Structure 1
Amino acid sequence: MKRKELSSIEREALLMALLSQLLREEISSGQVLRQLRREVLGMSQTQYAELVGISRRTLSDLEADKASPTLALLNQVFRPLGLQTGLVPRNRHLRERLLSVESPSA
């Protein structure tokens, strides 16, 4: 069955939903990577690994949360998806507060 192409609005909504779940520790970074690779880019592990310059095994380990990647590697694999690693509070309550804060008007 052929994958349905997502609109830019659908891609953004999926991205925001996944990032929110990640920050709430409902899913892992590997699960985010797998879902975005499949649903946004429609690529196999082999195709995506070639795109980002890593082995398919390394990508598989990242998606299965079996790796201990460096920040450089995380940035390398998330860059094609428009993401980069960053700092967030370790405390869940503070992360929740961060998610609920609205951006100030310009």
Structure 2
Amino acid sequence: MKRKELSSIEREALLMALLSQLLREEISSGQVLRQLRRDVLGMSQTQYAELVGISRRTLSDLEADKASPTLALLNQVFHPLGLQTGLVPRNRHLRERLLSVEAPSA
């Protein structure tokens, strides 16, 4: 069965929902990577690993949260998804406040 391709609005909504869950520690970065790889790009682990220049085993370990990746590796695997690693407060309350702040209008 062929996967329905997401519209740009649906992709952005999925990305925002996943990032919000990640910041709330409801899901892991590996889970985010797996869902975006599959649902946004529609790629297998082998295809995505080739795209980002890593082994399929490394990608599998990242998605299963079995790896201790460097920041460079995280940036490498999240780059095709339009993401990069960054700093967020360790304190859960501060992260929640960060999430509740509205972005300024352009």
TM-score band w.r.t. shorter chain: over 0.9
Could you tell me how far 1:58 is from its partner in structure 2? 0.1
**TM-score, length basis structure 1:** 0.98
Question: Alpha-carbon deviations, 1:54-77, whole Å to 9, x = none?
Answer: 000000000000000000000000
Q: 1:1-23: per-residue Cα shift (whole Å, max 9, x none)?
A: 11000000000000000000000
- Structure 1 gap segments, 5+ residues each: none
Query: What's the CA shift string for 1:26-77, capped at 9, x where partnerless?
Result: 0000000000000000000000000000000000000000000000000000
Q: TM-score, normalization: structure 2?
A: 0.98
Supply the distance in 2 between the matched residues of 1:96 and 1:14 (Cα, whole angstroms). 19
- 96-105 or 1-10: bigger deviation: 96-105
User: 2 CA distance for matches of 1:35 and 1:21?
Assistant: 12
Over the residues paired in the alignment, what is the CA RMSD in angstroms?
A: 0.7
Q: Percent identity?
A: 97
Structure 2: state its 5+ residue gaps.
none
Alignment-derived partner of residue 48 in structure 2: 48
Name segments (4+ residues, structure 1) moved above 6 Å: none
Give the whole-Å Cα distance in 1 for the aligned partners of 2:40 and 2:66.
Answer: 23
Size of the aligned set, in residue pairs, is 106
